[in-house]
């Protein structure tokens, strides 16, 4: 970034809310554009910078083109606006921030309402690996957790429940 680039930040009330948020690291508070360098520097709510190549922002057919000279962070850090062009902060983070991807995947696992999601949460809660279920391969446990096996055989369910210390009927409730 060159020294003559102006950084722009959220309005004070939004900035204060983002900085106090538990999810501050997953929101932007401001940024600066350097068209000469072909990049934005976006500042996360944890005050760390994230360098974002301008090439990441592509206009859709018939949509507005990104205008880096009109950079704004809006919507309490959830949206990056480049003129009339808008990009979701989640999409930027997901593509460029490995820590964000890990947190997003963990949130997805926690919110997965499927039987497989429940099984995985329970297995992790009990500190068990996929290979810890005698008579069931680690590959099969993984396939159940990913939802590739929709209805495990009753014998498989009994083995899972026994190892996890719960009733078969309770397996899908975690």
Q: Kindly compute the dihedral angle of the four CA atoms of residues 94, 98, 104, 107, in this order, to the nearest 10 degrees.
A: 180
Instruction: Reduce the secondary structure of 7-67 to three states and give it as a string.
Output: EEECCHHHHHHHHHCCCHHHCEEEEEEECCCCEEEEEECCCCEEEEEHHHCCCCCCCCCCC
Q: Where in the chain is the domain with CATH 1.10.260.40?
A: 112-173
β-sheet bridge partners, residue 44: 28
What is the reported pLDDT for 35?
Answer: 81
What CATH number does the domain located at 112-173 have? 1.10.260.40
The pLDDT value recorded for residue 5 is 61
Predicted local distance difference test score (pLDDT) of residue 111: 82
- Whole-angstrom Cα distance, residue 132 to residue 113? 23
- Could you read off the pLDDT tens digit of each residue along the chain, which spans 174 residues? 444 568 999 999 999 999 999 999 999 999 999 988 999 999 999 999 999 999 999 998 999 999 999 999 999 999 999 999 999 999 999 999 999 999 988 888 778 889 998 999 899 889 999 999 999 999 999 999 999 998 999 999 999 999 999 999 999 888
pLDDT at 108: 80
Residue 152: which residues within 8 A CB-CB, separation 6 or more? 144, 160
Predicted local confidence at residue 174, as pLDDT: 86
Start-end ranges of CATH 3.30.2020 in the chain? 7-101
What is the SS3 string spanning 130-170?
Answer: HHHCCCCCHHHHHHHHCCCCCCCCHHHHHHHHHHHCCCHHH
Q: Enter the pTM of the model.
A: 0.65
What CATH architecture is 7-101?
2-Layer Sandwich (3.30)
């Amino acid at each position: 970034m060159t020294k003559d680039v102006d950084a722009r930040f959220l309005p004070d009330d939004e900035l204060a809310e983002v900085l106090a948020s538990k999810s501050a690291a997953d929101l932007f508070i401001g940024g600066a554009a350097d068209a000469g360098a072909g990049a934005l520097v976006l500042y996360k709510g944890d005050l760390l910078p994230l360098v974002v190549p301008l090439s990441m922002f592509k206009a859709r057919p018939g949509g507005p083109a990104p205008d880096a000279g009109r950079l704004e962070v809006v919507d309490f850090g959830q949206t990056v606006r480049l003129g009339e062009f808008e990009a979701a902060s989640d999409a930027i983070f997901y593509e460029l921030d490995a820590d964000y991807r890990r947190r997003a995947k963990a949130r997805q696992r926690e919110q997965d309402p499927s039987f497989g999601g429940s099984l995985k949460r329970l297995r992790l809660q009990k500190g068990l690996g996929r290979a810890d279920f005698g008579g069931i391969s680690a590959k099969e446990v993984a396939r159940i957790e990913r939802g590739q096996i929709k209805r495990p055989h009753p014998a498989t369910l009994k083995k899972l429940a026994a190892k996890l210390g719960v009733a078969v009927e309770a397996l899908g409730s975690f």
